[in-house]
Amino acid sequence: GRVTAGNAAGLNDGATAAILASESKAKELNLPIKAKMVSFAFAGVEPEIMGYGPVPSTIKALKKAGLDITDIGLFEVNEAFAIQVLSFLDHFGIADDDKRVNIYGGAIAVGHPLASSGVRLILNLANGFKEQPEVRYGITTMCIGLGMGGTIIWENPNYKGDK
């Protein structure tokens, strides 16, 4: 696909913060646990196809976690450009209107404040986990420049199910 101003997220100001802590420390400090990190991975592709980086990073993260894409119940895929999300979904055989993807809208809808989008993805996923306790695992992923992709697999601390 083509990357143009018409299918790209607007750059805007924003600020986010997150606390990453061990489960024991979070409990000791009485902090809410919104998601548990299962695995993460980074991978790269040729810079000319820079938006494709989340595909190999997701493959690596799934392998490290011993999971398959079918185990994932929610996806937060940063969409600095529409083609990034579409190529990710296409690779994994996920429909472009799948209700598990970017459930609160992506960066084209809400903006893409630099150095803030990663935390926004995690918070969106955590809110999705709270609303959907039947979902056990979720993914946050993004292109991080020059062909690199980063993916984190998270577990829902609210999970109520037998899977």
In the chain, what are the domains? Answer: 5-155 (3.40.47.10)
Q: How far is CA 152 from CA 27, 65, 132, 135, 148, in A?
A: 22, 10, 19, 16, 14
Confidence category of residue 115, pLDDT binned at 50, 70, 90: confident
How would you class 116 by CB atoms within 10 Å of its CB: exposed for 0-12, middle for 13-18, buried for 19 or more? middle
Residue 140's DSSP bridge partners are: 76, 152
Tens of pLDDT along 55-109?
999 999 999 999 999 999 999 999 888 888 999 999 999 999 999 999 999 888 8
Tens of pLDDT along 7-31?
778 778 888 889 999 999 999 999 9
Average pLDDT value over all residues in the chain: 92
Two tokens at 92?
A: 């994994």
pLDDT score recorded for residue 27: 96
Query: Is the pLDDT reported for residue 112 higher than 70?
Result: yes
Whole-structure pTM value: 0.92
